[in-house]
Amino acid sequence: MAQVVQTHSAKPHLPPDGRQGFVSDWASDQQVFKNVSWGKAMMWIFLLSDTFIFGCFLIAYMTARMSTVVPWPNPSEVFALTIGGHDIPLILIAIMTFVLITSSGTMAMAVNYGYRRDRRMTALLMLVTAIFGAAFVGMQAFEWTKLIHEGVRPWENPWGAAQFGSTFFMITGFHGTHVTIGVIFLLIIARKVWRGDFDTERRGFFTSRKGRYEIVEITGLYWHFVDLVWVFIFAFFYLW
């Protein structure tokens, strides 16, 4: 039995992909995720658990909104901004969406340059991603400030159902926290890339292990997930 395991932990000869491969990957006494490192697999599993967290938030929001007898505030008006004398609906949220998508684009390119071992471009693109992320959090802080000044609280607001405030602060607050953590994560990894840690095999300050450029992709997975969650929040909370 031990021999079988060893053959697989060496350079794996990949069984066929597709349904047949799915069955054999899961059925046999071996590593399930063949060409995926533990770091990447664990990030995916963490993201899955995070999916459930945000899923529960959005379901709670749906339940509150469906069962209230008081009208739900119209997000199109609540999040409108007056620019040059015109009320433009939802404009800040639209800009935030574009900023986050742009940051996802630069992140995807950073991952690409990471695998080409292009140290400077990778670090630079990660830094750009972090700046876009920080801009997103800044705009969110502006949005919160504006709403709080207008009298929105978790327990009341001037336009209708009280649950509007609680779900809004809960969902966007949790998402903003994720973005903030992502920015910190990006800056730490970008610094390591810039310093050439993955070329010189310098050991990490926390794990004392040698890092690989793969960490750029793992950071990217987290960052894209933050963007992904925003897609759902944008659709269900702001547009619905």
Q: Cβ closer to another protein: 142 or 240?
A: 240
Task: Give the range of 1-9, 89-97, 126-134, 167-175 binding another protein by CB under 8 A.
Answer: 89-97
142 binds another protein (CB under 8 A): no
Take residue 15 and report the two structure tokens written for it: 């069984």
Query: 156 by DSSP, 3-state: which?
Result: strand
Helix axes 214-233, 38-67, angle to 10 degrees: 10
Out of 122, 217, 219, 237, the residue judged to bind another protein by CB under 8 A: 217
Nearest approach, Cβ of 118 to another protein (angstroms)? 11
Tell me, by CB under 8 A, how many residues bind another protein: 72
Q: Cβ closer to another protein: 120 or 148?
A: 120
148 binds another protein (CB under 8 A): no
Out of 7, 9, 42, 63, the residue judged to bind another protein by CB under 8 A: 63
139 binds another protein (CB under 8 A): no
Distance CA(213)–CA(231), nearest Å, equals: 28
Q: Cβ closer to another protein: 53 or 148?
A: 53
Q: Cβ closer to another protein: 185 or 208?
A: 185
47 binds another protein (CB under 8 A): yes
28 binds another protein (CB under 8 A): no
Q: With left for phi above 0 and alpha for psi between -120 and 50, is residue 85 left, alpha or beta?
A: left
Distance CA(216)–CA(24), nearest Å, equals: 30
Nearest approach, Cβ of 16 to another protein (angstroms)? 4
Take residue 71 and report the two structure tokens written for it: 């009208």
Q: Cβ closer to another protein: 86 or 149?
A: 86
**Residue 210 pairs with which residues in a beta bridge?**
203
Element (H, E) at 65: helix 38-67
Minimal CA–CA distance to 66: which of 178, 134, 161, 152?
Answer: 161
**Residue 203 pairs with which residues in a beta bridge?**
210
Contacts of 172 by beta carbon, 8 Å cutoff, 6+ apart: 140, 143, 144, 233, 237
Take residue 187 and report the two structure tokens written for it: 């800056």
Q: Cβ closer to another protein: 62 or 149?
A: 62
Considering only residues 164-203, where is the footprint of another protein by CB under 8 A?
Answer: none
Out of 4, 5, 48, 184, the residue judged to bind another protein by CB under 8 A: 48
Out of 16, 84, 85, 158, the residue judged to bind another protein by CB under 8 A: 16
